[in-house]
């Protein structure tokens, strides 16, 4: 299949619906003319200036590489069809009530089309290897290698019966590592490490012992060929009744699989990013302790690798200075043996730093009010990489991505001249960077691009043209035919309940090529409170959002105070205020859209997953803004959550709620204790194998709401953990949430043929 595409995107500022332009000055960001033309044909409501990124003083000059994207996007995939798509292409729109529109983006389509991507690498011949999550196979994750040439299809590497996934910290990440033509991965069923050769004999070789109940887990590995071993983070839960022990260990590559791995680094609560120097003589890593999360306070350490392979003489490179609050992360060794990492030690933004060795001062490579990494919810974050561009005099360059006001940008940093050059790309959400020569590989998405694995090829010197090609897309189909049914987000900034403060949201108006709403009618609104809560709402094309908007719903994905992508100050608005700031900002967003004439004040709904489910319940209980809500594996009782949740988040509430008078705050902020204030319907979804938010939370909410006589429904899924991975459950959740809202607050009949679940206190 061929799809012609070239979009270049950068966002500068946001527009306030129904008001004058923002009064505060905004940092200008480059926007190429191609996107300018595209945006003028859409409803994306943003200011479109041109010019260079303006860093705060004393900032160095940021220049733009003379790079252009080509109109080339070639990917061969089987197209996913839908019976509803037959009617696409109507030239005259029908008038029909909002929410009742027929859409080709069915729940079957959405759940079956979207695949996950959990990392990528290159084999010895430069072929891409990626980890693909498949809802159609109950969420199984499979390593896939691209075809030998453009005409050859990708090949599954992982044999049937294996699932490449780790559950360290429950959220996982860093489940595999490539070295030449050898891959080591963690298998979900038993959490053992396996070695697999991609040439010759492909037989899987276990490297670690089998433990009952997946008691030992591994993540974030690094090959150490000098000692014929694999260095990796281990989470050990073999001591019943005690907290899991996290350590950095080594596993023999050709030893006894039943032998116990050797402990290299231990003593702290958490570890990440064990990384060897190019000469194999030093090991860097990140560690932190309770009650911190990895975005609160961490430290980067470096130890010597002795002749026997022990780690000796550790020194703290960053994170140990008194009076400096920082969360350094992502340490990597440059080809010259310098340690590069990201920290927010100066100015509250995650920037790139260099450490040249013992006794050397840390050096900020390019101070900028931007985030050069993301919070480490999972292992394996990769926000920068090293490469050597042909025609460039420097020993190496750093390919990096940074975020400003929730939007990603791609750049090349020259560590010799300390200059940063932007690279034009179509993506506004970028992560998972790695590079080789003049080729940059990344995971990216935008308002018109689903999550994709892309390659950007730079010409000599990085100054001529860049060719952007999509190797893999999470949708695996040509989306051009569905464009009339896609809603383009408007990035809005709205006032919060705190004077002088604003928050943000991605607002998606209803959009369908076949229907318009009646004159004088406003659409229902679904507000989404993202999970985390230390996370953010993104603008990447999400069919689950388009499912709503293509049926006539408005959708607001809120970046409330506490969200990432805006610096530490914005992120810490939530500290001590969870259940207050997030709730107020979600309510303020809905009220703002009502006052702007965008949505129906009587049909305001809210939903959220995990921490967003807590915000949903808190908004329904502690405010009267919304008329119905849906919580997906969400929290209702903070006291129970703190007692029952896993190690990684067991002290998270110390910052979100506060340690002073904590018991009272936990009670006062728990929606379950104040359901007498609830007056609107709720639907609850829960996975029965969830270790992050145990099923008891959902059942407590359901029973309490039912006892109060308010319409409520509970749907539980066997075999699902924290987040739904099976296509059938993703489909059912979409359908049941929509029909629940339609029946109780909608005032319309959904066009889809959905058999609704029984609603207690509503259905007889």
Nearest to 333 by CA among 364, 300, 366, 308: 300
Helix (H, G, I), strand (E, B) or coil at 683: strand
Number of folded domains in the chain? 2
Q: State both tokens at 695.
A: 């099923």
Peptide bond into 175 cis (omega under 30): no
Average pLDDT, the chain: 86
- The DSSP H or E segment spanning 186 is strand 182-186
Arithmetic mean of pLDDT, 160-188: 96
Choose one of 267, 294, 309: the last residue of a domain.
267
Q: How confident is the model at residue 78 (pLDDT cuts 50, 70, 90)?
A: very low
CA 763 to chain centre: 38
Peptide bond into 533 cis (omega under 30): yes
Classify the C-alpha dihedral 753-757-760-764 as positive or negative: positive
Cα separation of 244 and 235, whole Å?
Answer: 6
**Sheet architecture: strand order including 62-64:** 62-64, 419-423, 407-414, 397-404, 384-387
Contacts of 25-34 with CB under 8 Å at 24 or more apart are: 27/53, 27/54, 27/369, 27/404, 27/405, 28/52, 28/53, 28/54, 29/53, 29/404, 29/407, 29/409, 30/64, 30/422, 30/424, 32/8, 32/68, 32/424, 34/6, 34/7, 34/8, 34/69
Is position 4 within any domain?
A: no
Is position 42 within any domain?
A: no
Q: Find the range with the poorest average confidence among 38-47, 92-101, 191-200, 539-548.
A: 38-47
Arithmetic mean of pLDDT, 476-495: 88
Strand 466-473, strand 452-458: pairing: antiparallel
What's the pLDDT tens digit per position in 526-585? 999 999 999 999 989 999 999 999 999 999 999 999 999 999 999 999 999 999 999 999
Give the number of other CB atoms < 10 A from CB of residue 324: 12
pLDDT at 654 over 70: yes
What's the pLDDT tens digit per position in 680-722? 999 999 999 888 788 888 898 899 899 999 999 999 999 888 8
Is position 670 within any domain?
A: yes
Pair 494, 16: CB distance under 8 Å: yes
User: Helix 611-622 vs helix 581-595: angle between axes, to the nearest 10 degrees?
Assistant: 70
What's the pLDDT tens digit per position in 242-295? 999 999 999 999 999 999 999 999 999 999 999 999 999 999 999 999 999 999
User: Where residue 709 sits, what CATH number does that domain have?
Assistant: 3.40.50.1820
* Percent of the chain residues past pLDDT 90, beyond the cut: 69
* pLDDT at site 424: 87
Is position 258 within any domain?
A: yes
Dihedral, 416, 418, 423, 428 alpha carbons, nearest 10 = 130
Residue keyed to tokens 């607001």: 556
Is position 422 within any domain?
A: no
Is position 103 within any domain?
A: no
Is position 584 within any domain?
A: yes
Is position 188 within any domain?
A: yes
Pair 156, 143: CB distance under 8 Å: yes
What's the pLDDT tens digit per position in 333-382? 999 999 999 999 999 999 999 998 777 889 999 999 999 999 999 999 99
Cα–Cα distances in angstroms (integers) from residue 235 to residues 243, 268, 574, in the given order: 10, 12, 29
Give the number of other CB atoms < 10 A from CB of residue 201: 7
Per-residue DSSP letter, 78: P
Q: Which residues contact 160 (CB under 8 A, 6 or more apart)?
A: none
Arithmetic mean of pLDDT, 62-81: 33
Burial class (CB in 10 A: 0-12, 13-18, 19+), 757: middle
Domain boundaries, position 232: 119-164+167-267
What's the pLDDT tens digit per position in 182-234? 999 999 999 999 999 999 888 999 999 999 889 999 999 999 999 999 999 99
Arithmetic mean of pLDDT, 307-329: 95
Cα separation of 303 and 228, whole Å?
Answer: 19
Q: State both tokens at 604.
A: 């305001």
Choose one of 267, 289, 324: the last residue of a domain.
267
């Amino acid at each position: 299949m061929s799809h012609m595409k070239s979009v270049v995107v950068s966002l500068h500022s946001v527009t306030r619906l129904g008001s004058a332009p923002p009064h505060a000055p905004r940092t200008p960001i480059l926007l190429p003319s191609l996107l300018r033309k595209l945006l003028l044909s859409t409803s994306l409501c943003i200011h479109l200036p041109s010019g260079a990124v303006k860093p705060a003083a004393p900032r160095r000059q940021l220049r733009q590489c003379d790079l252009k994207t080509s109109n080339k996007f070639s990917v061969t995939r089987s197209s996913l069809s839908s019976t509803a798509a037959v009617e696409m292409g109507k030239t005259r729109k029908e008038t029909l009530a909002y929410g009742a529109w027929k859409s080709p983006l069915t729940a079957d389509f959405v759940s079956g089309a979207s695949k996950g991507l959990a990392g990528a690498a290159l084999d010895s011949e430069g072929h891409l290897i990626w980890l693909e999550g498949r809802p159609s196979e109950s969420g199984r994750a499979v390593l896939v290698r691209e075809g030998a040439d453009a005409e050859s299809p990708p090949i599954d590497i992982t044999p049937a019966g294996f699932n490449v996934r780790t559950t360290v910290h429950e959220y996982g990440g860093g489940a595999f590592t490539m070295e030449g033509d050898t891959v080591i991965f963690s298998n979900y069923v038993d959490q053992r490490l396996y070695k697999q050769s991609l040439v010759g004999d492909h037989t899987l070789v276990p490297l670690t012992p089998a433990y009952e109940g997946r008691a030992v887990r591994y993540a974030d590995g690094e090959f150490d060929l000098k000692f014929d071993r694999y260095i990796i983070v281990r989470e050990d839960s073999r001591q019943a009744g005690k907290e899991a022990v996290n350590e950095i260990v080594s596993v023999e590559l050709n030893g006894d699989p039943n032998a116990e791995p050797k402990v290299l680094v231990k003593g702290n609560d958490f570890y990440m990013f064990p990384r060897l120097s190019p000469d194999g003589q030093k090991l860097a890593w990140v560690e932190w302790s309770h009650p911190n999360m990895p975005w609160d306070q961490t430290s980067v350490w470096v130890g010597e690798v002795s002749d026997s392979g022990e780690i000796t003489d550790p020194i703290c490179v960053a994170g140990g200075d008194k009076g400096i609050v920082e969360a350094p992360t992502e340490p990597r060794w440059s080809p010259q043996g310098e340690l590069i990492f990201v920290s927010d030690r100066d100015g509250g933004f995650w920037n790139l730093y260099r450490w040249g060795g013992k006794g050397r001062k840390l050096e900020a490579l390019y101070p900028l009010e931007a985030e050069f990494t993301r919070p480490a919810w999972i292992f394996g974050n990769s926000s920068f990489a090293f490469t050597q561009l042909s025609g460039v005099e420097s020993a190496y360059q750093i390919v990096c991505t940074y975020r400003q006001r929730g939007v990603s940008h791609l750049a090349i940093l020259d560590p010799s001249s300390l200059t940063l050059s932007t690279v034009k790309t179509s993506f506004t959400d970028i992560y998972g960077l790695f590079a080789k020569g003049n080729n940059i590989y990344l995971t990216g998405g935008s308002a018109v691009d689903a999550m994709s694995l892309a390659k950007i090829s730079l010409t000599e010197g990085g100054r001529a043209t860049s060719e952007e090609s999509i190797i893999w897309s999470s949708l695996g189909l040509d989306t051009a035919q569905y464009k009339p049914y896609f809603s383009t987000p408007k990035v809005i900034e709205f006032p919060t309940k705190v004077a002088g403060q604003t928050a943000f949201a991605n607002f998606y108006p209803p959009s369908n090529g076949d229907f318009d709403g009646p004159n004088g009618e406003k659409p229902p609104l679904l507000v989404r409170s993202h999970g985390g809560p230390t996370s953010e709402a993104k603008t990447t094309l999400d069919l689950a959002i388009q499912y709503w908007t293509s049926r006539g719903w408005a959708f607001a994905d809120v970046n409330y105070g506490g969200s990432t992508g805006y610096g530490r100050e914005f992120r810490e608005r939530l500290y001590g205020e969870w259940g207050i700031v997030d709730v107020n900002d979600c309510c303020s967003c809905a009220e703002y859209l009502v006052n702007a004439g965008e949505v129906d004040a009587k049909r305001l709904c809210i939903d959220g997953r995990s921490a967003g489910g807590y915000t949903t319940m808190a908004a329904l209980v502690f405010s009267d803004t919304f008329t119905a809500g849906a919580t997906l594996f969400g929290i209702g009782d903070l006291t129970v959550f703190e007692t029952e949740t896993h190690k990684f988040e067991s002290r998270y509430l110390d910052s979100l709620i506060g340690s002073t008078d904590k018991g009272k705050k936990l009670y006062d902020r728990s929606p379950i204790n104040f359901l007498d204030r609830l007056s609107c319907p709720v639907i609850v979804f829960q996975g029965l194998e969830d270790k992050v938010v145990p099923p008891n939370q959902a059942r407590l909410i359901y029973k309490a709401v039912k006892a109060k006589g308010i319409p409520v429904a509970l749907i539980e899924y066997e075999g699902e953990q924290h987040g739904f991975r099976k296509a059938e459950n993703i489909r059912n959740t979409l359908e049941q949430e929509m029909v629940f809202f339609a029946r109780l607050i909608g005032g319309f009949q959904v066009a889809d043929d959905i058999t609704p679940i029984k609603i207690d206190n509503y259905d007889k």
